[in-house]
Amino acid sequence: MNSKITLYAVLLFSVTLFSQTSFINSGDAWKYLDDGSDQGTTWDDNGFNDASWASGASELGYGDGGEATIVSYGPSSSNKYPTTYFRKSFNVADHTLYNDLVLEAIRDDGMVVYVNGVEVWKDNMPASFDYSTYASATVSGGGETAWLSTTIGSNLVTGTNMVAVEIHQRSGSSSDISFDFKLTAYAAIPTAITRGPYLQKGNANSMTVKWRTNTSTESIINYGTTLGVLSSTVSENTLKTQHELLIPGLTADTKYYYEIADADGVYVTESSDMYVKASPNVGDQQFVRAWILGDAGTANQDQRDVRDEYYNYVATAGVSPNQTDMILFLGDNAYNDGTDSEYQAAVFDVYGDMLKKSVAWSTLGNHDGHSATSSTQTGPYYDIFSFPTAAECGGTSSGTEAYYSYDYANIHFIVLESHQLYNDATQMAWCLSDIQATTQDWIVAIFHHPPYTKGSHNSDSETQLVAMRNNFLSILEDNGVDLVLSGHSHSYERSYFINGHYGVSSTFISGTHTVGANGDLSGKADTGDGAYTKTDTDTEGAVYITAGSSGKISGGSLNHNAMYASINELGSCVLELENDGGTGQNLTVKFLNDSGAISDYFTINKTGFVLAVDDEVINKKSVSIYPVPASMQLNIKLNTNETIENVMIYNIIGALVLESKETSIDVSQLSTGKYMVGIRTSKNQHYKSIIIQ
């Protein structure tokens, strides 16, 4: 007895000291079922009776020649069993010693793992599956012997535990399957960040921070406006690996440093280079810089070169260095299929330094759409990004992440979905409502498939491109859009300053479709051509950019008639908005190539931002009303040859709230808001707008 107690104490001490126990090792014996039967959904339970199953040591499988145990695939080599089942039990003396499990497996082709009846790991299998489901892809070459690994929160129990694994073939004629497995339990895996952090849905008062960890843990962000004094905290206690926290209560246009922690402490420390910057108040006129990346997701050196040149540019910028207010992804962010691992390689591993301090926005590209679908808002693209659906960042509520809008300073951004929803009436109706609701000085539209291009795609003939041109351009242009950004073609193409061209390239007519005296010129403010201009009376004109060369170039004829510049170079675009030295603003977009040169640029100068209405006195025609805003009395002054017959005041929804025949009216009982005053005189009927405070 004493020896048993001693042994237990030694084991307990060992576990505590070394913090891990290997419960399943390579080469261990497994129960297996290889008779081609469908075991339904209860075979993975702890209590399932597998007494009749065969037993053998791992590695189990057939076809590769290196198996310790060969399992059967059935009578036909061209119609092999789709699923083979494996079970292994093991004993845990005290489950409370363990918080995390590291599972490792060799699997060929697809695998689903259950621990104590709970599905904990699925690899190379579709979201929904059954006995007859084949694996998603063929595992071959090095993949057949590579150990995969995942970490999960422990769901071990004291006593008998069960690991159940089903291995799925790739097809009835596939040559092999393989299975080997290890399970190690830990007291605690040190938490480490594996993705992010990255910023989403920024507005003047809040920011969403997302990140991924290697183990399930709490979500805690400490933040503050001063490094070393992160005195505010947001947290969520649910253990998870995919974290998303909203930081509320921010002050507009203010930088907050942050660190990431769990119950054990900080594991992403604060730094001067990691912060959340709340958006400016909506409508504020100030310097804004946006980094624009189109079709970037190659995860190769070209993409990194483009990135590095932007980093150099912004670090040495003469105005507001190191300020990047947002990253605009124009779609095809991760080749070839926008999977989670491709996003890791092409987005998070490449732009990590910027993503932790600049908000990322995106539109869906066709390659993102290989693994994601807007009709169900599922897939890695929709899992990775969090976009506003209820106008959380300004704009009009769309109810979907597929298309949305947001405001930043005095710019309104409209993001449309052109891959699957190019003919979608609901998207069109929302776009019209949204652009007609904005009061912002600048309007920028973003969607992946360009309305004008002759790069690696042809906007004259390709379905989505033609549809976007026909369905959306008049909505945008009639309501004052300034800039339209697209990707898809792997080159840089930038239009003249244009309006009203909805046909093919050959129908573009300079002079008819260009706007203003210099719309058919370069738009370069520092040359004789001058900036493109928009005023409060000349409101038409937009520049269209197709910028899909942030990761690769693919050429094309590059001769669209609407284009001022068509350049087959790697690069990204930089949008900068700043005061023009007077009362207006300049919106400048530069194409920065992979050598650091600015291959093209243009400026739109806009003036005439002032309000139309004089607040104090409306002196129009023969009637004036004052003061505006009013609070106690409202006075009406008429021309001497008119007399008041009746005054009716209506609220914002047209309900009559006050009626008088006086020229000085007590309005103190009216609540704050906008009203319409109808004044019937001996000669006229007048209507005026007033504000009651």
Partner 1 sequence: MTLKFRKKIIVLTGFLLISSILYAHGDLSIRIKEKSIEISKRPTDAHLYYERGFLYQQHLEYQNAISDFDKSKSLGNHSKLLFFRMAETYYKNDEYEYAFDKITSCVAIDAGDVKSLKLKAQILFKLKRYQETMLAYTYVVENTVDIRPEDIIEYSNIVLAIDSLDYKGALKAIEIGLDKLGANTVTFQLKKIEYLKKSNQVDEVVSQYNMLIKNNHRNEFWYYEKGKYLIDVKRFSQANIAIQQAKLAIELLTSKFKNTLAIKKLQTQLNELEKLLNYE
**What residues from 435 to 494 belong to the interface with partner 1 (CB under 8 A)?**
436-439, 441, 456-458, 461-462, 477-480
321 binds partner 1 (CB under 8 A): no
- The span of 25-33, 141-149, 294-302, 428-436 binding partner 1 (CB under 8 A) equals 428-436
Nearest to partner 1 of 132, 160 (CB atom)? 132
Residue 609 CB neighbour total at 10 angstroms: 14
Among 14, 37, 312, 378, binds partner 1 (CB under 8 A): 378
User: Counting beta carbons within 10 angstroms of the beta carbon of residue 568, is it exposed (0 to 12), middle (13 to 18) or buried (19 or more)?
Assistant: middle
Nearest to partner 1 of 5, 652 (CB atom)? 652
Site for partner 1 in 408-427 (CB under 8 A): 424, 426
Compute the distance between CA of residue 501 and CA of residue 453 in angstroms, rounded to an integer. 13
Closest CA to 422 of 386, 465, 364: 465
Report in angstroms how near the CB of residue 382 gets to partner 1 at its nearest. 8
CB 162 within 8 A of CB 115: yes
Strand ranges in 282-387 using DSSP code E only, listed in sequence order:
288-293, 326-329, 359-362
83 binds partner 1 (CB under 8 A): no
Among 113, 402, 577, 634, binds partner 1 (CB under 8 A): 402
For 346, the 3-state DSSP assignment is helix
Site for partner 1 in 41-80 (CB under 8 A): 78-79
Nearest to partner 1 of 39, 150 (CB atom)? 39
366 binds partner 1 (CB under 8 A): yes
Could you say which DSSP state residue 226 is in?
B
CB 358 within 8 A of CB 291: yes
Report in angstroms how near the CB of residue 690 gets to partner 1 at its nearest. 10
Could you say which DSSP state residue 97 is in?
G
Report in angstroms how near the CB of residue 227 gets to partner 1 at its nearest. 38
Amino acid letter for position 389: T
Among 88, 170, 195, 560, binds partner 1 (CB under 8 A): 170
First to last CA, the chain: 87
Q: Which residue has tokens 């409502």?
A: 433
Site string for partner 1, 613-652 (x = CB under 8 A): x------------------------------------x-x
- The span of 50-58, 183-191, 588-596, 683-691 binding partner 1 (CB under 8 A) equals 683-691
Among 14, 301, 423, 433, binds partner 1 (CB under 8 A): 433
- The span of 250-258, 371-379, 522-530, 621-629 binding partner 1 (CB under 8 A) equals 371-379
User: Counting beta carbons within 10 angstroms of the beta carbon of residue 424, is it exposed (0 to 12), middle (13 to 18) or buried (19 or more)?
Assistant: buried
Q: Which residue has tokens 């019209």?
A: 432
689 binds partner 1 (CB under 8 A): yes
Site string for partner 1, 97-136 (x = CB under 8 A): -----------------------------x-xxx-xxx--
Among 396, 518, 603, 605, binds partner 1 (CB under 8 A): 396
User: Counting beta carbons within 10 angstroms of the beta carbon of residue 68, is it exposed (0 to 12), middle (13 to 18) or buried (19 or more)?
Assistant: middle
Compute the distance between CA of residue 360 and CA of residue 371 in angstroms, rounded to an integer. 20
